[in-house]
Copies of this chain bind each other. A is one copy, B any other.
């Protein structure tokens, strides 16, 4: 009887090999052959799962985003029984900054995705789909805060949520570029949240 192969686990192993390359020398110019070598499998075996670099990059990005979601959700669940919307927002947004190895790797994969997606509408579809969901989640937290009288109702908007996402994205980029430390990025985020909830 042939051994049953867990295809999803195999795909994740390949994605993790791509992460390791993203975390060290970067994905620019990295070929499927390079990823196969890093994963310790043949190119043919890798191509059984992924036909192109973009297909693999997209899977690896979704996998890292799923893990990030899960990590942030666990942090929120570890808070007090009923965390305030402000605490949920801060946990979510600070969880997106590259403050530890896992989130740093996620940001490096996202940087590689960004550089390719600006030229590829299939890749862009991922952000076009994912960011509005994140924006809706943040807007919902802002509305909950306004209902509890913790936020001025005119700030519980989608634009304010987009501002938060963009701010965290830019702050992350400048941490990866060594322009600022993770702590400095967190301080600027807290500065903004403090003003938002003032």
Contacts and interface: CB of A to CB of B under 8 A. Distances in A.
Chain A interface bracket (under 10, 10 to 19, 20 to 34, 35 or more): 35 or more
A115 B118 contact: no
Contact of A116 (B28, B117, B188): B28
Candidate in A166, A167, A173, A179 with the most chain B CB atoms within 10 angstroms: A166
Interface stretch (A6-14, A62-70, A126-134): A126-134
Interface in A122-175: 124, 127-128, 131-132, 159-160, 162-163, 165-171, 173-174
Contacts of A75: none
A173 B11 CA distance: 29
A191 interface: yes
A72 interface: no
A124 B177 contact: yes
Given A28-B29, A127-B178, A132-B179, 14 more contacts: A24-B119, A25-B119, A26-B119, A29-B29, A111-B114, A121-B178, A128-B178, A131-B174, A159-B187, A162-B171, A165-B170, A165-B174, A166-B166, A166-B185
